[in-house]
C-alpha cells in the first residue's frame, strides 16, 4: 500500500469562527469578495468595523455561474489594488461560485494580463509567472469543499456551446479557510439540499475511486454517514445550528477526502446534465450515485467494505437504500426522471468511463 497526502490549507472550524478572521490579518490589507447576503446577515458591518482601513474594497458577488467573463471583470477591479498593496490578502466568503472565482482572480500574472490567464485555463499556453495574492476562503454552503481543493471550475461562455475550464494546479490551494456553520444558516432549502448532495457525492466518489486510501476512506465514510443522518432533519429545521454544523463538518470531511482522490463516474456524468438542462451541480451528481454504486460493486474488497459502512448494510443493498433516502429528500434518482432513456444512459456511462474522472472509477475498464 502506497499513498501520499498534501493539504497546505490552514483550517479553522466551528460556529462563529468567521469572526476571528479580521484579527488574523494583522497589519495586512485585504480585498473581500462576498456573497450578497453578507450585508443582510450583518457580516459586512462586523468585518468592516473590525478591518477598518485595512479593507481596501468590498466586492459583492451575485449568484450564478463562475465564468471566465466574470473573472475578467473582477480582475479589472481587484488587480490594481493587489498591485498597489503587496501582501494584500484576497478573501472570499460565499458559495462555490464565489470561492472558485476568487481562486482564479488571485492568479495575477506579473504583467496583469488576463488574456494570459485565459490562455492557460484553455490549455493554449503554460501558466505565466504569477504575482499570486494570498487567498483566504470562507464557505457559506456545506458544500463544495472548494476551500480545501486545488481546483476551480470556470465556464468558458465565449465558446459555443459553453465549455467547462478547470484551474487545477499546485498553486490553486488557499492559504487559510474558516469553516463556520453559522454562515450556512442563510442557505435556502434547495441550496442546502443540493450542496449537501454534492458533499455526499464527493464522499462516495472518493470511496469508489482508484486513488482511495485508508485516510481518505475514513473521512469519506464519516462524511457520507453524516450527510445521510443530518440532511433530512436540517431541511425540516433549517435554523438548527447543530444540524448545520454536522453538514459543514461532513462537507469538510468529504472535501478533504476528494482533495486527494478527485471525483469519479457520477461527476463525469453530471456535467452534461448541468449544461443541457441547468440542473444544479449537486443534484446532477446525486442522480447518478445509485447507478455508480451498482457499477462499483464487486470490484475491490476495500470499496465493498467501505460502502457497507455507509448504511451499515451489505454493500449490494446500497443502491436501493440510497434511492430511497434520496426520495426522502425529494430527489428521484433515475436518469428517466430527467428525460434520459435507458439506452441513452448506457451510452453516457460508456463515454464517461473513458473521461479523466471516469477513469478514476474502480469500475472503469
Residues of this chain that interact with Fe ion (CB under 5 A) are 198
| Nearer to Fe ion (CB atom), residue 127 or residue 151 | 151
How far apart CA 50 and CA 197 sit, in angstroms, is 35
Minimum distance, C-beta of residue 100 to Fe ion, in the bound complex (Å) = 11
Contact status, residue 79 vs residue 127, Cβ threshold 8 Å: no
Q: How big, in percent rounded to 5, are the helix, strand and coil portions of the chain? A: 55, 15, 30
Minimum distance, C-beta of residue 254 to Fe ion, in the bound complex (Å) = 9
**332 contact partners, CB below 8 Å, separation of at least 6:** 326
| Nearer to Fe ion (CB atom), residue 88 or residue 92 | 92
Minimum distance, C-beta of residue 363 to Fe ion, in the bound complex (Å) = 19
Determine the length of the chain.
Answer: 365
Minimum distance, C-beta of residue 113 to Fe ion, in the bound complex (Å) = 31
**93 contact partners, CB below 8 Å, separation of at least 6:** 18, 32, 33, 34, 35, 38, 43, 137, 138, 140, 183
| Nearer to Fe ion (CB atom), residue 282 or residue 318 | 282
How far apart CA 201 and CA 227 sit, in angstroms, is 10
Give the three-state DSSP class for 339.
coil
Minimum distance, C-beta of residue 297 to Fe ion, in the bound complex (Å) = 22
**Pick from 199, 190, 342: nearest CA to 266:** 199
Minimum distance, C-beta of residue 285 to Fe ion, in the bound complex (Å) = 6
Using CA atoms, how far residue 331 sits from 16, 100, 178, 347, in Å, is: 32, 26, 30, 23
Minimum distance, C-beta of residue 205 to Fe ion, in the bound complex (Å) = 8
| Nearer to Fe ion (CB atom), residue 149 or residue 213 | 149
β-strands 176-179, 135-139 pairing: parallel
Provide the grid cell at 209: 475511486
Q: How far apart are the first and last CA of the chain?
A: 22
* Closest chain position to Fe ion (CB): 198
Only one residue has cell 443534484, namely 283
| Nearer to Fe ion (CB atom), residue 198 or residue 253 | 198
Contact status, residue 172 vs residue 123, Cβ threshold 8 Å: no
| Nearer to Fe ion (CB atom), residue 181 or residue 280 | 280
| Nearer to Fe ion (CB atom), residue 114 or residue 288 | 288
Minimum distance, C-beta of residue 263 to Fe ion, in the bound complex (Å) = 6
How far apart CA 355 and CA 323 sit, in angstroms, is 25
Minimum distance, C-beta of residue 258 to Fe ion, in the bound complex (Å) = 8
Dihedral, CA atoms, 254, 285, 211, 350, nearest 10 degrees?
170
| Nearer to Fe ion (CB atom), residue 118 or residue 149 | 149
| Nearer to Fe ion (CB atom), residue 198 or residue 217 | 198
β-strands 163-168, 151-156 pairing: antiparallel
Amino acid at each position: 500500500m502506497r499513498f501520499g497526502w498534501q493539504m497546505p490549507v490552514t483550517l479553522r472550524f466551528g460556529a462563529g469562527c468567521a469572526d476571528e478572521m479580521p484579527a488574523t490579518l494583522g497589519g495586512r490589507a485585504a480585498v473581500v469578495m462576498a456573497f450578497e447576503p453578507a450585508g443582510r446577515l450583518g457580516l459586512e458591518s462586523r468585518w468592516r468595523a473590525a478591518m477598518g482601513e485595512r479593507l481596501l474594497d468590498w466586492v459583492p458577488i451575485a449568484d450564478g455561474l463562475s465564468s471566465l467573463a466574470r473573472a475578467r471583470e473582477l480582475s479589472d477591479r481587484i488587480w490594481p489594488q493587489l498591485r498597489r498593496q503587496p501582501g494584500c490578502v484576497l478573501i472570499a466568503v460565499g458559495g462555490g461560485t464565489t470561492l472558485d472565482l476568487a481562486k482564479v482572480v488571485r492568479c495575477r500574472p506579473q504583467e496583469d494580463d488576463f488574456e494570459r490567464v485565459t490562455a492557460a485555463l484553455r490549455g493554449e499556453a503554460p501558466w505565466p509567472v504569477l504575482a499570486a495574492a494570498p487567498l483566504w476562503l470562507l464557505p457559506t454552503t456545506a458544500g463544495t469543499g472548494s476551500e480545501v481543493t486545488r481546483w476551480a471550475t470556470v465556464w468558458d461562455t465565449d465558446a459555443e456551446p459553453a465549455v467547462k475550464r478547470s484551474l487545477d494546479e499546485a498553486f490553486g490551494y488557499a492559504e487559510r479557510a474558516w469553516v463556520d456553520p453559522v454562515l450556512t444558516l442563510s442557505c435556502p432549502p434547495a441550496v442546502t439540499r443540493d450542496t449537501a448532495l454534492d458533499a455526499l457525492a464527493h464522499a462516495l466518489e472518493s470511496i469508489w475511486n482508484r486513488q482511495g486510501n485508508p485516510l481518505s476512506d475514513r473521512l469519506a465514510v464519516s462524511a457520507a454517514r453524516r450527510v445521510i443522518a443530518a440532511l433530512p432533519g436540517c431541511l425540516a429545521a433549517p435554523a438548527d445550528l447543530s444540524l448545520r454544523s454536522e453538514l459543514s463538518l461532513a462537507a469538510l470531511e468529504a472535501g478533504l477526502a476528494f482533495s486527494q482522490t478527485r471525483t469519479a463516474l457520477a461527476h463525469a456524468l453530471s456535467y452534461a446534465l448541468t449544461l443541457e438542462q441547468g440542473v444544479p451541480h449537486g443534484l446532477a451528481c446525486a442522480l447518478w450515485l445509485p447507478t455508480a454504486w451498482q457499477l462499483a460493486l464487486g470490484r475491490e474488497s476495500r470499496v465493498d467494505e467501505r460502502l457497507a459502512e455507509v448504511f451499515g448494510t451489505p454493500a449490494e443493498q446500497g443502491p436501493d437504500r440510497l434511492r430511497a433516502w434520496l426520495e426522502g429528500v425529494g430527489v428521484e434518482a433515475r436518469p428517466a426522471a430527467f428525460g434520459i432513456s435507458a439506452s441513452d444512459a448506457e451510452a453516457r456511462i460508456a463515454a464517461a468511463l473513458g473521461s479523466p474522472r471516469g477513469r478514476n472509477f474502480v469500475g472503469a475498464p
